[in-house]
Amino acid sequence: MAVSIHIEHVKKVYGDNVVIQDLSADINPGELFTLLGPSGCGKTTLLRMIAGFNSIEAGTIAFDDKVINHVPVYKRNFGMVFQSYAIFPNMTVYGNIEYGLKNKKLSKDEIKIRVDKIMETVQISRYKDRYPDKLSGGQQQRVALARAIVVRPQVLLMDEPLSNLDAKLRIEMREAIREIQKKIGITTVYVTHDQEEALAISDRIAVMDKGVIQQVQSPESIYSRPFNTFVANFLGHSNRFIGTVLEQIQGATLIRLETGFDIQVSGVRPLREQKEILVFIRPEEFILAEKDTGMAAVVLMKLFLGKYIQYIVDCGNGAHVEVTVDTSSVTKIYEPGETIYLGVNSRRINLFDKQDETTLLAGVDQLPDRKSVV
């Protein structure tokens, strides 16, 4: 049965450097929970604290209701998949996978049943007699995954498992990991710096920076409604404007961008008139509009990307903006020097306070209600 993981006010210090500071999180049974952030944000340190490889200066970590702070690594009942695969070069695929089971003193028949089943699950049965140097990177990572879960751990920990693979293999393996994780229902903590990977594979994402969780939400929520500008900038690209609040009336907020273009946004917290705020608009949220209704912009650069066209445009006032349009929805492709007119999907605009850079939209949570997490 899958377990929950409860992290309460943990802290990790190296000398004078506070790597993790007063961090709390709850991970649901059976979910794939991703720690996402730039290098040095503390995500791998936190994973190693869960594993027991790093000590905990303060706070607690528990599997279900059992605090594991002082439980030795070998008694924590987790499997781990590393960036470097860490499979034994002198053993076949079968030998690598059966290694942990032999240490558990299981019978040969039981070992064979388990190894055959897990090889079928991760789709490497035909490679069982091969050595690692005869396998591709993706195949080696499947072996590492099979070896980690064949011992039936309570928790699976994955530290940048796809970073050594090429782009095509990364996509294939993230799909395979997601499918396998769901099939066996194991609670999984996954570390990555790759935003696309995190969005594709996770049930929930915790975005970290400087040892602090900035936001925890589902991939859809965290991308469309970031809690602060760090999350907005780290998860994809956003165009940043300075806006001035003109008025709020009947649930709508009228905002004038620095380019002179007015937008109307719903669901905004009460704001005083003439307050300057930050307006973030993702490239894909622009719409090609008619001359009389859109914001005029001059095309500086056009990049044809197959399914999409990316424009870099000058909206005036020194505002260079990135715009992405689906090629199937356009009747004309604009060239540098031409003028286009832009509308905006106002339901997808994000507004932030200019001082503390946190969201001004009502109902956007930084962290989930911890009482609601089982």
pLDDT at 154 over 70: yes
Reading the block at residue 159, the tokens are: 């530290």
Which is nearest to 218 in space by CA: 236, 198, 233?
A: 198
Q: List C-alpha distances in Å: 143 to 65, 102, 132, 190, 200.
A: 32, 16, 9, 17, 22
Q: Residue 330: its pLDDT value, please?
A: 84
CA angle 118, 189, 78 (to 5 degrees): 55
pLDDT category at 329 given cuts 50, 70, 90 is: confident
Helices (H) then strands (E): counts for the chain: 8, 20
The DSSP result for 18-87, as a single string, is: EEEEEEEEEE-TT-EEEEE-STTSSHHHHHHHHHTSS--SEEEEEETTEE-TTS-GGGS-EEEE-TT---
R_g of the chain computed on alpha carbons = 25
Rama region for 178: left / alpha / beta (φ>0; ψ in -120 to 50; rest): alpha
Mean confidence (pLDDT) of the chain: 92
State how far the Cα of 62 lies from the Cα of 73, in Å rounded to an integer. 14
Q: pLDDT at residue 371 above 50?
A: no
Q: What is the pLDDT of residues 177-234, one digit of tens each?
A: 999 999 999 999 999 999 999 999 999 999 999 999 999 999 999 999 999 999 999 9
Residue 161 pLDDT > 50, yes or no?
A: yes
Share of the chain above pLDDT 70, in %: 98
Using the predicted structure, report yes or no on whether residue 374 has a pLDDT greater than 70. no
Section 162-177 average pLDDT: 87
Band (pLDDT 50/70/90 cuts) for residue 86 is confident
Q: What's the pLDDT tens digit per position in 95-144? A: 999 998 988 888 999 999 999 999 999 889 999 999 999 998 889 989 99
- Asked if residue 369 has pLDDT above 90, the reply is no
Q: Residue 373: pLDDT band by 50, 70, 90 thresholds?
A: very low
Mean pLDDT of all residues in 58-62: 97
Share of the chain above pLDDT 90, in %: 80
Report how far apart the first and last C-alpha atoms of the chain are (Å, whole number): 14
Strands 32-36 and 276-281, by their bridges, are unpaired
Residue 235 has pLDDT above 70, yes or no: yes
Q: How far apart are CA 10 and CA 374, in angstroms?
A: 20
Residue that the structure tokens 């969005």 belong to: 199
Residues 6+ positions from 188 with CB-CB distance below 8 Å:
31, 32, 33, 155, 156, 157, 158, 181
CB 306 within 8 A of CB 326: no
Please tell me the distance from the alpha carbon of residue 236 to that of residue 189, in angstroms, as a whole number. 22
| Domain locations in the chain as residue ranges | 5-233, 238-353
The predicted structure's pLDDT at residue 283: 96
Yes or no: domain 238-353 corresponds to CATH 2.40.50.140: yes
Instruction: Give the C-alpha separation, 303 to 14, whole Å.
Output: 45
Work out the average pLDDT over 156-172.
88
Average pLDDT, stretch 14-43?
Answer: 95
Q: What pLDDT sits at residue 372?
A: 38
Structure tokens at 25: 């999180």
Q: Give the pLDDT mean for 50-55.
A: 96
List, in sequence order, every residue forming a beta bridge with 255; answer none if it has no partner: 245, 263
pLDDT digits (tens, 9 = 90+) for 242-297: 999 999 999 999 999 999 999 999 999 999 999 999 999 999 999 998 887 889 99
Here the tokens at position 284 are 């894909």
The pLDDT-based confidence of 354 (bands split at 50, 70, 90) is: very high
CATH superfamily for domain 5-233: P-loop containing nucleotide triphosphate hydrolases (3.40.50.300)
